[in-house]
Amino acid sequence: MTEEVKTHAPDDPNHPNNLVVRGRDGDPLPHPGGTTMIEKESYERVVEGLKMAADACVHLAKIEPLKGSVWTEIGQMLDKMRRDAVTLGGVDLASKQAETVAVRGEAYSWRKARDRFLDGIKQATGGMRQLASCFRGDFMWSFMAQQLERRERSFRGLLAGKTAATMPRPGRLILPPGFARH
């Protein structure tokens, strides 16, 4: 097990790394209130989040027949992103590469499908961010997270019955008279 090493006063100039409590092996000890997440759990978070969102798309396509083809396309895009994530991760999750199947029986309620869709997107982007910053330092995971976050706005607009073009934009920068914006 680990044994705590004596830490020095925060203002001690002879010990610049004095705020980190280290174990006998020299690695920082985790915060007692925190949880540790291994890399495989982050992969599972990405894959399961994308699977949850794609599954919700299938239910939304059944609930909303007018937008059914749009939800089907979004689900297919999320399936492709999930397959890309499994390939990029190099983990053995072959069972997670199958396409999302059509709804059998009764579809979820619109609210439940919406919540599962948004939660799946949130979990997937969070897992991608974890992989990008904590484990791999890989720009590809960051790029995938940014791509999904950019699309989330239009997804939310679709859920609200609006398109991304008609959604209100964030406030514009107001400059004093005489300043020009180039």
Mean pLDDT of the region 92-105 = 64
Identify the residue with better confidence: 109 or 14: 109
Q: What are phi and psi of 129, to 5 degrees?
A: -65, -40
Mean pLDDT of the region 42-54 = 91
Specify the long-range contacts of residues 58-62, CB closer than 8 Å, at least 24 apart: 58/100, 58/101, 58/102, 58/103, 59/103, 59/107, 59/108, 59/112, 59/113, 59/116, 60/110, 60/113, 60/114, 60/117, 62/102, 62/103, 62/107
- Three-class SS state of 156: helix
Identify the residue with better confidence: 143 or 179: 143
- Judged against a pLDDT cut of 60, whether residue 65 lies above it is answered with yes
Provide the residue type at 158 as one letter: L
* Predicted confidence band of residue 166 (pLDDT cuts 50, 70, 90): very low
**pLDDT value, residue 161:** 72
Percent of the chain whose pLDDT exceeds 90: 18
* pTM score above 0.85: no
Separation between Cα atoms, residue 34 and residue 73, nearest integer Å: 39
Mean pLDDT of the chain: 77
CA distances from 95 to 36, 75, 123 (A): 26, 17, 19
pLDDT digits (tens, 9 = 90+) for 82-95: 988 888 887 765 55
pLDDT digits (tens, 9 = 90+) for 143-152: 899 999 998 8
pLDDT digits (tens, 9 = 90+) for 106-142: 878 888 999 999 999 999 999 998 888 876 677 888 8
Quick one: DSSP state of residue 152? H
